[in-house]
Structure formats: structure tokens, C-alpha cells
Amino acid sequence: MLNTVKLSNLYIFTRQFSAMINGRLHLTVALANLARELPRGRLRDVLESVTQDVRAGVDMADSMSEHPKVFGRLYVSVVRSGLNSGRLADALQQLSNYLEQKDTVSKKVRAALTYPLFVTGVFIMVFHMMTFVILPRFGQMFSTLGRELPAPTQLMMDLGDAYIENWPLLLIAAVGGIVMLVTWIASDSGRMLWDEWKLKIPLIGEVWRLSAFSRFCRTFGVQLRYGIPAVEALRTSADAASNTYVSESVHDVANRVEAGSSLAQAFRGEDIFGDVVVQMIATGEEAGTLDELLISASEYFDTILLQRLTGITTMLNPLLTAVVGVGIAGMMVAAFLPVFELSGNV
């Protein structure tokens, strides 16, 4: 049984749950009906468990918090706030909108990365087919001719032979490097440096920064809309940023607010957020519309994120295609060049 639930399934469930609560269905009836309609899987099992807990008198938010891989801190906090305020249907509707937008952006990002990964995979496949299948056969044929090979072909043969002889060592070195990198990133100091470095990479760093800001603003705004205290909302939103460096900055902001600072003053102490975020928070705090501004800002960051990602892929895809095409064409020409020379001599 899988431990994760697709984001699309979760937001569809949340929207249906909101509609049922809005239609005045009893909480346990709505949960039981939704659980029965779901196919067998992690989400259905969790909903059946939550339904049993609610029937036994357990608070629904407390029961959901027992399943953090399905219902995260944000989800539980907003549900708890909706239950306490009597606005559960509205809270669930806002959660479904949040999850749907998050899923939409994630799918668009994955779609933008599909082509570069596909082209790179094709090149690796062609390279290995040439090295392990085609070149050895050509080498046997050329050796029987007793002729000196053209320089490009000889270079390809030498590189292929070196790769065939040393590929186990290269594989061990690559796997070892990856294991060391993953181990380093898993440490607290390594993760902090890695996440900070990611934000500074030209072009790609801006994409990561916009993604972190979008998740933070949307999560923070949704919680404020349903009366969750600012300090608690900040600490929950810090985890949603999915970047340790950004999360640490948000935790520092939460500590300043807890010590009596205003939100705007607390955010001004962190250079990472920039003038746009700080000015938006200051304006929203003064006008009392911070939740609306944060959610609008998250949509703005999503729009800019997709524009930047589209621009990068529009520039990268033709360049990558050209480089891979030249590489494959070069390998093919080098492999068949002796054949062309023999045909010309005949």
C-alpha cells in the first residue's frame, strides 16, 4: 500500500467534501459516503479511519493529524479553524482551490521538463548502443581489412574501448558521488547550503525562488483567512516553502513577531524576500487585507514562474536538440566513414 496520495485526488475529495458539508450533510455521513466512492487505496483507508474516529467522538482535525502523509499541517490547521468558526464548508473550498492551483503548477513544471529529459535520455541510449553494439562490430570488420582508420573513426573506437574497459569504475564513481551528495544534502548544514546555493544559480535560481515564494504566500494567506494566529501560520508556511534557507528565514520572522514586532518590520530583517514581498505585507497589514494580498501574490508568483520556465525551455530546447543532434550525427559519421571511403575506392 502506498504511503502517499496524489494531489489531484486530495483536492477532488476536498471539493466534494465541501459541497456535502455545504448541503447540510452530517459530518460522519459525508465522510462515509466519500470513503465508499473512492477506489481502494491509501486515501480511502485513511478516510475510513477518520470516519470511525469521528463517530467515536474524536475531533476530526485531531484524527486527520494522525495521518500527516495525507493531511499536512496546513490542511489540519485550516480544517480545525473551519470547525471552530462554523465555516467548515468555506474552509474546505479554500483548501481545494489551494490544492488545485498547487497541482496545476506542478504539472506545468513537470511538462516543461519532460522534453529536455527525453532528449538527454535519447542521447545516452544512442551513445551506449554505439559503444556496446555498433562500434565493436565495425571494429571487427575494419581489422580484417588491414587499413588505417580515419582519424574521427579511430577516436571514436579509442573512446569506446576506454569506456567499455572502465565503465564499472565510472559507474561506481558516479554512484558513490551521488550517494555522497545525497548524504551531505540530508544533513542540516548541507541542506541549508544546498538550498541557498540553488537560489543563486543563474536563470534556474529565480525559478526556485519564485516557487518557494508562491508556496509560502499561498499557505500563509489561506491560514490567515481562517483566523489562524500569525506566528503559528508563519511556522506552518515555513515548511511549505520546501526550501530550508527560505524556511529558516520565515522562522526568524515568526520569532520576531512573537517577540512583539509587526509583520512588516519582521520581514524587512530578511533580505531574501525583497522589496515586493515586504511592501505587499506592509500594505496588507495596514489595510487589514493581508490574506487577500498574499493569495493574489501567490498567483502573481505562479504566473511569473511559468513565464520564466517557458522562457528557459524555449531557449534550452532548440539548443539541446542541436547539441544532441550534432553529437549523434558525429557518432554516425565517424562509424560509417570507413565504409564511405571503401565505397569510393571501389
User: Is residue 346 predicted with pLDDT exceeding 70?
Assistant: no
Query: DSSP character for 67?
Result: -
pLDDT digits (tens, 9 = 90+) for 132-174: 787 777 767 766 766 677 788 778 878 888 888 888 898 999 9
Residue 109, all three cell numbers = 513544471
CA distance 175 to 177: 5
Contact indicator for 289, 312 with CB cutoff of 8 Å:
no
Backbone angles phi, psi at 69, to 5 degrees: -75, -15
| 105-346 homologous superfamily | Type II secretion system (T2SS), domain F (1.20.81.30)
User: Is residue 178 predicted with pLDDT exceeding 90?
Assistant: yes
SS in 3 state form for 219-247?
Answer: HHHHHHHCCCCHHHHHHHHHHHCCCHHHH
Spatial CA neighbour of 78 closest among 19, 141, 162, 18: 18
pLDDT digits (tens, 9 = 90+) for 18-51: 999 988 888 889 999 988 888 888 889 999 999 9
What ranges do the domains of the chain cover?
Answer: 7-101, 105-346
**Average model confidence (pLDDT) for the chain?**
84
pLDDT of residue 2: 42
C-alpha pair distances (Å), 177 with each of 128, 174, 180: 21, 5, 5
pLDDT of residue 66: 92
Check for a shared fold between 7-101 and 105-346: yes
pLDDT digits (tens, 9 = 90+) for 207-263: 888 888 888 888 888 888 877 888 888 988 887 777 888 889 899 999 999 998 888
pLDDT of residue 1: 38
Contact indicator for 98, 264 with CB cutoff of 8 Å:
no
More confident call, 288 vs 183: 183
C-alpha pair distances (Å), 122 with each of 152, 286, 336, 343: 22, 55, 20, 30
The rounded Cα 175 to chain-centroid distance in angstroms is 23
Which residues have C-beta within 8 Å of that of residue 246, sequence separation ≥ 6? Answer: 195, 199, 212, 213, 216, 238, 272
pLDDT of residue 309: 82
State the fold for domain 7-101: Receptor-associated Protein (1.20.81)
The rounded Cα 236 to chain-centroid distance in angstroms is 18
